[in-house]
């Protein structure tokens, strides 16, 4: 077992520790395509077997389906054997006469509810209560304000102060926010005593804008960072990206695709793979606690967990830095800054 596979890292000063690889729950909420119930349950079971014992979900994912499936799969597992996080900010209001699917939301599920933004103190409490009912569990460990990009002031005055009160009451252990942009997250880190923030994109093998604001702020404040999108929504998930690969949910720009191909060539020259470089590189930053990766089947879980076991030679990291694919100040495993 590698150090990456065996170790855990703290979420701020909360006392919660997580493995470096987390299970992203959006795919088992039928992100883009449907996943059979049995496959979703087996994926969660495989994650437990592989040591991927940090599960990240949200009401948004499949209009609650992700929470329902993950909770059902975890019931009966000793509660302290896993870390579970969900999110607040979107309430699910039932639709009296559902029609069609949640195609606009990105999930292949019946449109049984509609999402309602609510970052108020009461909305946060209600959201957690409803999540616990869907999960069928008595608690979550991590609670994040979800996507307050257009609602920053509401999160600042309502949701985040309420999360602090809920932490003081012992309802949750670790609190924070999850977003796709670094600016608001950096402001939240500077203004609030947060244990963790989840950053989707903005720090991967090809682009590292989070080095300019969020990651230094997180180090100063003792806030841990969990990363999403470390494979760039597909570009870095294969040994050699195809010409039609996506990057951050859009067709990969030509210059980004070219850099991914250079990284893939470098990986092959050193006997490793592009996905292994992509995952292990981002885990080297001292502010990063974990990378949450979307997984929809036992096979995907096994494949992603195995990336932690790849022994990347120091020469590969040195060549990566020398190539200019990553910025010079990006921490890489075993290399001095």
Catalytic residues: 61
Q: Which two tokens stand for residue 12?
A: 């701020």
Could you tell me how many helices (H) and strands (E) the chain has, helices first? 12, 14
Instruction: Please report how the helices 254-269 and 314-323 are oriented relative to each other, as an axis angle in degrees rounded to 10.
Output: 150
Q: Which two tokens stand for residue 246?
A: 């996506």
Residue 263 near residue 320 (C-beta atoms within 8 A) = yes
Helical ranges in the chain per DSSP H: 3-6, 37-50, 65-74, 121-135, 152-154, 160-168, 182-191, 214-221, 254-269, 274-282, 298-306, 314-323
Residue 95 near residue 105 (C-beta atoms within 8 A) = no
Pick from 166, 165, 215: nearest CA to 190: 215
| Alpha carbon distances (Å) from 134 to 86, 107, 130, 265 | 11, 17, 6, 45
């Amino acid at each position: 077992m590698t150090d990456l596979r065996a170790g855990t890292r703290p979420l701020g000063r909360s006392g919660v520790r997580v493995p470096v690889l987390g299970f992203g729950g959006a795919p088992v909420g039928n992100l883009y395509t449907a996943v059979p119930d049995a496959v979703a349950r087996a994926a969660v079971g495989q994650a437990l077997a592989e040591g991927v014992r940090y599960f990240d979900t949200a009401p948004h994912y499949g209009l609650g389906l992700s929470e329902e499936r993950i909770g059902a799969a975890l019931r009966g597992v000793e509660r302290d054997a896993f870390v579970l996080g969900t999110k607040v900010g979107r309430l699910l209001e039932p639709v009296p006469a559902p029609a069609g699917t949640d195609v606009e939301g990105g999930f292949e599920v019946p449109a049984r509810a509609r999402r309602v933004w609510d970052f108020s103190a009461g909305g946060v409490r209600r959201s957690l209560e409803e999540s616990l009912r869907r999960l069928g569990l008595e608690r979550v460990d991590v609670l994040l304000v979800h996507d307050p990009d257009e609602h920053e002031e509401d999160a600042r005055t309502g949701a985040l102060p309420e999360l602090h009160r809920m932490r003081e009451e012992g309802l949750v252990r670790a609190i924070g926010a999850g977003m796709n942009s670094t600016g608001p997250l950096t402001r939240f880190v500077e203004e609030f005593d947060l244990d963790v923030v989840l950053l989707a994109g903005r720090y991967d093998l090809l682009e590292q804008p989070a080095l300019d604001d969020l990651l230094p702020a997180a180090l100063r404040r003792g806030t841990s960072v969990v990363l999403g999108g470390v494979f760039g929504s597909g570009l870095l998930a294969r040994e050699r990206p195809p010409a039609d690969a996506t990057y951050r949910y859009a067709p990969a720009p030509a210059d980004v695709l070219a850099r991914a191909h250079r990284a893939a060539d470098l990986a092959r020259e050193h006997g490793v793979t592009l996905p292994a470089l992509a995952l292990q590189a981002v885990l080297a930053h001292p502010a990063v606690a974990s990378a949450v990766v979307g997984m929809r089947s036992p096979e995907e879980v096994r494949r992603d967990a195995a990336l932690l076991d790849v022994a990347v030679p120091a020469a590969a990291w040195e060549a990566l830095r020398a190539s200019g694919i990553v910025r010079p100040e990006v921490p890489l495993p075993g290399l001095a800054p």
